[in-house]
């Protein structure tokens, strides 16, 4: 499902249904040169491959805007390679293959909420909070007095993701992890 949108009305985050696939607008710039007609310079990210490309369009050129359904859903449990989500408003359950979640699967644990973006029944993206709290399942214990400034060690978290943490973090600690970069932020309270 799509609707026509003018290049003058582009916004960051808008999803476009172009002949070569679905693309999300990363940035755009209206340009009015001294001579010639105005145009719009865009940077677009393919929602499936994450490849970024730049395109230039005439001002007021019509493009197809993809109508994306954003649903807040809660992860109930994992079954094999599938994640079972429940719609927060309709209580409808949705089975999602791990592959469709991409990197988001590394940060989701049972009971977490996420906003799934669906286009024609296909999950094209997952909006996570900027940071999530996860428990450290294994890491080497910190040694008393070993407090080298900025030193890091690997830690495996409850979802299986491995992040670099400061030496004072121990198994069982809860830490906050940035979902955009995958980096340790702080110990959770």
pLDDT tens digits, one per residue of 12-43:
888 899 988 889 899 999 998 888 889 999 99
- pLDDT over 90, % of the chain: 17
Identify the CATH homologous superfamily for domain 69-127: Nucleic acid-binding proteins (2.40.50.140)
pLDDT at position 130 is 86
Neighbours of 107 (CB within 10 A): 22
Residue 68 CA to residue 132 CA, distance in Å, equals: 25
pTM of this prediction? 0.71
pLDDT at position 126 is 86
CATH 2.40.50.140 boundaries in the chain: 69-127, 131-187
- pLDDT over 70, % of the chain: 94
Residue 46 CA to residue 26 CA, distance in Å, equals: 10
Does domain 131-187 sit in CATH 2.40.50.140? yes
Given a cut of 70, is residue 155 above it in pLDDT? yes
Interval 79-109: pLDDT, tens: 888 889 998 888 889 888 888 888 888 888 8
Half-sphere exposure of 108 (CA within 13 A, CB side): 27
- Are the CB atoms for 163 and 172 separated by under 8 Å? no
What's 2-66's CATH class? mainly beta
Mean pLDDT across the chain? 86
pLDDT at position 151 is 79
pLDDT band at 144 (very low <50, low <70, confident <90, very high): low
Neighbours of 144 (CB within 10 A): 6
**Residue 160: partners with Cβ closer than 8 Å, 6 or more residues away:** 106
Given a cut of 70, is residue 178 above it in pLDDT? yes
CATH 2.30.30.30 boundaries in the chain: 2-66
Of 1-5, 73-77, 82-86, 112-116, minimum mean pLDDT range: 1-5
């Amino acid at each position: 499902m799509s609707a026509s949108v003018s290049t003058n009305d582009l916004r960051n985050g808008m999803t476009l249904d172009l002949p070569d696939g679905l693309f999300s607008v990363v940035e755009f710039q209206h340009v009015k040169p001294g001579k010639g007609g105005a145009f719009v310079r865009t940077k677009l990210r393919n929602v499936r491959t994450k490849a970024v490309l730049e395109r230039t369009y005439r001002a007021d050129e019509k493009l197809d805007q993809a109508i994306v359904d954003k649903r807040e859903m809660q992860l109930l449990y994992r079954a094999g390679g599938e994640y079972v989500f429940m719609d927060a408003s309709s209580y409808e359950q949705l089975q999602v293959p791990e592959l469709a979640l991409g990197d988001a699967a590394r940060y989701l644990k049972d009971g977490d909420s996420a906003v799934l973006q669906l286009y024609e029944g296909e999950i094209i993206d997952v909006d996570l909070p900027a940071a999530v709290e996860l428990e450290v399942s294994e890491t080497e214990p910190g040694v008393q007095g070993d407090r080298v400034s900025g030193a890091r060690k690997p830690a495996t978290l409850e979802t299986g993701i491995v992040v670099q943490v400061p030496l004072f973090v121990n198994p069982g600690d809860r830490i906050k992890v940035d979902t955009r970069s995958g980096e340790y932020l702080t110990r959770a309270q």
